[in-house]
Amino acid sequence: MKIMNKAEEKKSKDIEEAIIEEEPKKEKIEKKESTEFVEKEEKIKEAEIEPVEENKEEEKKDYLLEEYYRRKSKNKTGEVSGFKLFIIIVIAFITGGIVMVGLSRFVPILESAIDTNGINTITKNETQVYEKSSLAPAVEKIYDAVVLVQCYSNDELASSGTGFVYKVDSKYGYILTNAHVVNDMEKVEVTFTDDEEAEVQVLGKDSYLDLAVLRVDKKYVSLVANIGSSEKVNLGDTVFTVGSPMGYDYRGSVTSGILSGKDRMVTVSVGSYSEDWVMRVLQIDASINPGNSGGPLLNVNGEVIGICSMKLVDSEIEGMGFAIPIEYAMSHVEQLENGEKIEWPVLGISMANLTDLANLYRYNVRVPDGVDEGVAVVEVQKDSAADKAGIKVGDIVTKLGDKDVKNIAYLRYELYQYSAGEEVEVTFLRDGKAETVKVTLGKSS
């Protein structure tokens, strides 16, 4: 064991004291370093948090700035688009106006389509009102083409009716009316809507057609009717007439109604028989009266679809008028214009209805029991179509072609669907037995 001297003991003691003093310092230093480390860690965390918050602030500022410029740009774009839109609307409006004016000037049917679709603008007492389904525009399209027809015999007014201008050429205007209005008259005059009167020439007429064509100097004509089609009109469609019921005082009267029926078979008196002809006609409920005969029947476009011809007259009947389909009339008008006589086909026989007991007895014609429809042959002309085919007095004609024959009127109607020179099968009863022969039709003289 080493024994230390005093100097060494002192040195050792000093070292121990230094160590003892150093321990608290070290502890303090470690504690301080630990505290600084914690504080540093917290500052680091704060530093990590602060940039996030700063980034959020920066992002917010960037967003606001971006939103500001976006809205500014949108406003600028909107203003430009609005201006362009305004220019486009103005140009479209002007262009549309020019097109509509051009169409209304050069395509008159456009006006009809607009008018008939419903609402018309009408000025009353300088105030514009709207009237639904008015026929005024359609009436205007025909009104001045309609004339009052007055017929004279022995310089006295004998009958009156209506007609309409359907055609003009370089010199004349041509008027259609009914044959029964002008038959056997010495002079025929027409009065226009402007009260101009003119004498006319009857170019041609036919009682079975019940049509006549008149010719007038062109200088009197201010309007020509538009010809339509009865085939395009449906039951229930609105129709109207313009005519002169009861003569001069009521000329230019307009009446309207609906198309009540098509292809009506109506028997009329033409010759010596009370009912010797059947007409296929249009039925209407528009009011027509004596004086309307020969006037136009029109659709809502103001186009002629028929020629008013007759009405049923009875105390129990109301609103049953009839018109000749315009197609049927126009198919014969050229012949009438040229003054040609209509050549109807003929069989060459004289006939009696099965209800005409007096004539049946007179010609000794016996009708088999149970037969109530047909036409009895009471006379056969020598060398006629019927004579050549072997038809004899006493035969009862029951069919023409494949069509049943009820009476004389229906036989004539079916016969006149053929032309002279055509061959047709005729079925008849002879001694109660049915026979069929082929007949080559003759023509009326």
Assess whether 445 carries a catalytic annotation.
Answer: no
Start-to-end Cα distance in the chain: 184
81 catalytically annotated: no
Q: Which of 180, 230, 253, 356 is catalytic?
A: 180
Distance CA 32, CA 214 (A): 136
Which of 230, 293, 309, 356 does the annotation list as catalytic?
293
Residue 208 and residue 344 in contact, taking contact as beta carbons nearer than 8 Å: yes
Select which of 144, 206, 210, 276 is catalytic.
210
Q: For the chain, give me the number of helices (H) and strands (E)? A: 9, 23
* Residue 293 a catalytic site member: yes
CA–CA separation, 268 and 275 (whole Å): 5
Question: Contact, 268 vs 279, CB < 8 A?
Answer: yes
Greatest Cα pair distance, the chain, in angstroms, is 196
Q: Are strands 303-311 and 226-227 parallel, antiparallel or unpaired?
A: parallel
Q: Alpha-carbon distance 271 to 222, whole Å?
A: 37
Tell me which residue has tokens 């039951």.
Answer: 235
212 phi, psi to nearest 5 deg: -140, 145
Element (H, E) at 188: strand 187-191
212: helix, coil or strand?
Answer: strand
Catalytic residue numbers read 180, 210, 293
